[in-house]
Amino acid sequence: MKPDINIALLNAAQEIINRFSPLIEDEYERSRLGSWGALILISAMKFNDASSSLKKENGDIVKWLKNHTKLRKEELEKFESCEDKNLDQLEQDNQNLREILDKQIQEIQVKEDNVLFREGIYLMRSMHQRRKVSDLIGMLQQQES
């Protein structure tokens, strides 16, 4: 990850909150600008965590697939080693793992194994919760590529 993007976000948030917001006389507009500054600040902090979040999510998916499916363990091990992977590679692994997980959950649903199906849905919900972050982060990650 490029640290200069993170620093630029922090600087932008500080400028908005400390310099520009006090110059606006309209209370509503000042509040809106302050909110944007706060969102940028939060995005800067979340941007730092993007890599570790992907590593955790990928690990959770691999663990679930190993424990609850008949997939070959060797097939999943390539996703476990993530120490030397950059953010783009982690994201690609995540997309591949999500596709595998989706197919496995569909198969479980057809077999009508409700307990395992619920566990799979719970995992997917936890993954979705981690992704609930400002759209600004997604846009910044795309621009970094």
Domain count, the chain: 1
47-51, 54-58, 121-125, 137-141: least confidently modelled range: 137-141
């500080």: which residue's tokens? 14
Cα 141 to the chain's mean position, in Å? 10
Q: What end-to-end distance do the CA atoms of the chain give, in Å?
A: 10
125 band by pLDDT with thresholds 50, 70 and 90 = confident
Q: Which residue has the higher pLDDT, 129 or 17?
A: 17
**pLDDT over 50 at 1, yes or no:** no
- Integer Cα distance of 96 and 28 in angstroms: 45
Q: Supply the range of the domain harboring residue 93.
A: 3-144
Q: How far apart are CA 6 and CA 144, in angstroms?
A: 11
3-state secondary structure of 81: coil
pLDDT at 48: 62
pLDDT single digits (tens) 37-78: 888 888 777 766 677 778 888 889 999 998 888 888 778 878
Q: What is the pLDDT of residue 135?
A: 47
The amino acid at 3: P
Look up residue 96 and give its amino acid. Answer: N
Please write the tens of the pLDDT for every residue from 99-112.
999 999 888 888 88
Q: pLDDT at residue 28 above 90?
A: yes
Q: What is the pLDDT of residue 27?
A: 92
Q: Average the pLDDT over 120-126 and give the result.
A: 86
